[in-house]
Chains A and B, each alone.
Chain A
Amino acid sequence: MLWPRLAKNLFGRPLTDPAPPVPDQVVQALVERLEAAAQQRLGHSLSIREVDTGSCNGCELEINALSNVVHDLERFGLRFVASPRHADVLLVTGPLGRNMRAALERVWECTPDPKWVVAVGDCAVDGGVFKGSYAVEGGIAEALPVDLVIPGCPPTPTQLLEGLLALLEAQALPRATPFWRRDED
């Protein structure tokens, strides 16, 4: 039966993990890339559009795992949106495949300013193991200005979360400490 389980869960401990710590130097580096205007306009929340330019789908598995109840991405004000027109962040996975370059550029054009590009996974950094293929141009930076790199093959959800929280903190810096860092004070 579903309803008794739902009721029981209401009084149970959440399954969600605590937030991972975020390295301060990453946040500082991001702050320097961020215009003051962006901090005001984005607020303390980011909409993410994921774009796969030729990954093996390993990165997609781990990005999808961010939305499970254990990682619960949305508690931080981070959410995946269905269209680049609604996005602040492009989360790009895979080497830059020649067959996807045009689509990636169109996604970038569709995304309103201010916007960030996060390259996820070793392939997105420089083409990874697929570097040097006739079908691959290299990393995402060959096509778009990359603001943050989250390496790994694939990066774990915890590593992904660290990177995305650094983005949030970078734009939230003039404000109060976010809730997931309050315990550290």
Chain B
Amino acid sequence: MAPDAAAALGRIRAGAPQHARPYERYLLTPTAWAALAEALAVDRGLALLSLWAEPAMVHAAFLAEEEGEILLASCPAQGGHYPALSPARPGAVRFERMIRDLWGLVAEGAEDSRPWLDHGHWGVTGPLSNNPAPNALPPPQPEFLAVEGEGVHQIAVGPVHAAVIEPGHFRFHVQGETVARLEVRLGYAHKGTIGLMLGKSPRAAARYMARLSGDSTVAHSWAFAMAAEAALGVVPPPRALALRALMAELERIHNHLNDWGFACNDSAFAFPHARCGALREAVLRASAAAFGHRLMMDRVVPGGVAQDLAPGGAEAILAALEVAAAEIPVLLQIYENHASLADRVVGTGSLAAALVARFAAGGFIGRATGRGFDARRLPGYAPYADLEVAVPVLPQGDVDARIRIRIAELQESIRLVRGLLKTLPDGELAVPLPQRAGEGVGMVEGFRGECLHWLALDDGGLIRGAFPRDPSWLQWPLLEAAIENNIVADFPLCNKSFNCSYSGVDL
């Protein structure tokens, strides 16, 4: 494997450097890109993290897993075409469908060329291309992959769901009670976010990134700010970095509490749900007391943070966390000691480690299936280098493992918040951003996994291109694998154990 990996890496590094920071982007010729696609087919060491476009150009972000190196590659789309990566990297499938819908660029040899975000309602095709074409055709009926077999029937769910969640369509092919295939159709929450960001300053566009996925508002705002700061070569003050980490860990805590409770509730076990809800509410109120907003939206901005920790905020956070820290072990014991609950979560929605590795899925989904990637450790970013983040990893890959990873992370995040509050540096909250050209990448570990943002600024410092990659891009496809051969009734539980973002990937 090693020589092949070197070959794939070498093919990228042979391209022309484009001066992206901190990770270099190499411009390949279409021929070299096609050769890279072939090299990737035999090389498992280079994970595809993201794939996106600008008019007439396709970009990809890779992670060399052993070396821990991130690098970007680009391919000019001559005549609107580029060689597909999906035959070698299944994670590329939805990106390629998205690129075709938004930029009108076609992946030659793609595994799947059905529309993804474009449901035929926008009135245009290729809205982000240089020449969007008017589209007056009636919206086409979606096509789903077929399933053959005796007694197979379909269950169509959504886009409006029974619970209070985001819109999306689930198409189940079912044989008896058993799910033979699930296909997820997304794009219902598409808001044209990238189009709105173009031509704006990073400071103005930060509002969109705070609203890419509300539950990850801090993580996405931070990753976007990190990309803008890298592009412009500025470093935020130490106090801003510490406050960002503080908010990011609070965000992890409130989301992990929420989903732990909901997963128990979806197993018809209400007590942990009630208690997690109360603990989470206390964390949100403490966040509001400390930062003036329960979800801490718009608090992280390019250059630093928009708001200092309010007087009494630290005490409010510590008080809320003390209650949570005391109760989590008790709730864990209750979670572990009830056979009715264990019966629902253990062995349900299992994922194979090889599949998780093929998709390079991050976050608790990866870490519950043996893939220990955590952006706070690798590539690592300030201020986490000094905090020695413990990253729990389990091999099982079932609902139970995903819940247990989150419980372990909860406790680690509480430790991190306490440490951050103890060592909070004094000083400025933000640095001004120069107005100039640049290209940057930012990666921040949100509660779901790594948020990867790419940003290119023109000579006036306005956004020429952007792509925010939510971790759910590489996790949604695995939900389809996890539910296979499980019963329909376990789908809500499996889905909650993933809790992928709809808005985050619908853009």
- In B449-491, which residues have CB < 8 Å from any A CB? none
Total number of B residues with any Cβ neighbor in A under 8 Å: 55
CB distance B164 to A50 under 8 Å? yes
Does A177 have its Cβ within 8 Å of any Cβ on chain B?
Answer: no
CB distance A99 to B121 under 8 Å? yes
- List the B side residues contacting A69 at CB < 8 Å: 274, 277-278
- List the B side residues contacting A51 at CB < 8 Å: 160
CB distance B160 to A103 under 8 Å? yes
- List the B side residues contacting A99 at CB < 8 Å: 117, 119, 121, 187-190
Stretch with Cβ within 8 A of B (4 or more), from A30-38, A77-85, A165-173: A77-85
- List the B side residues contacting A84 at CB < 8 Å: 160
CA distance A97 to B217 in the complex (A): 20
Does A53 have its Cβ within 8 Å of any Cβ on chain B?
Answer: yes
CB distance B278 to A61 under 8 Å? no
Tell me the nearest residue of chain B to A100, going by C-beta.
B188
Q: A50-B164, A65-B284, A94-B189 are in contact. Are A133 and B195 (CB under 8 A)?
A: yes
- List the A side residues contacting B208 at CB < 8 Å: 129-130
CB distance A103 to B188 under 8 Å? yes
- List the A side residues contacting B278 at CB < 8 Å: 15, 68-70
Does A162 have its Cβ within 8 Å of any Cβ on chain B?
Answer: no
CA distance A97 to B160 in the complex (A): 13
CB distance B190 to A135 under 8 Å? yes
Total number of A residues with any Cβ neighbor in B under 8 Å: 50
- List the A side residues contacting B211 at CB < 8 Å: 56, 58, 129-130, 153
- List the B side residues contacting A63 at CB < 8 Å: 164
Minimum CB–CB distance from A80 to chain B (whole Å) comes to 6
- List the B side residues contacting A6 at CB < 8 Å: 271
- List the B side residues contacting A83 at CB < 8 Å: 162
B407-423 CB contact bits vs A (8 Å, 1 = yes)? Answer: 00000000000000000
- In A122-159, which residues have CB < 8 Å from any B CB? 129-130, 132-136, 153-154, 156
- In B269-301, which residues have CB < 8 Å from any A CB? 271, 274, 277-278, 280-281, 284, 288, 294-295, 297
- List the A side residues contacting B195 at CB < 8 Å: 133-135
Stretch with Cβ within 8 A of A (4 or more), from B70-78, B122-130, B393-401: B122-130
CB distance B160 to A57 under 8 Å? no
- List the B side residues contacting A135 at CB < 8 Å: 122, 127, 190-192, 195
Q: A100-B167, A135-B122 are in contact. Are A57 and B501 (CB under 8 A)?
A: yes
7 A–B pairs (Cβ distance < 8 Å), ordered by A: A55-B189, A56-B217, A61-B214, A67-B277, A99-B119, A100-B167, A102-B139
By Cβ-Cβ distance, the 6 closest A-B pairs, closest first, are A58-B214, A68-B277, A133-B192, A82-B162, A135-B192, A98-B121
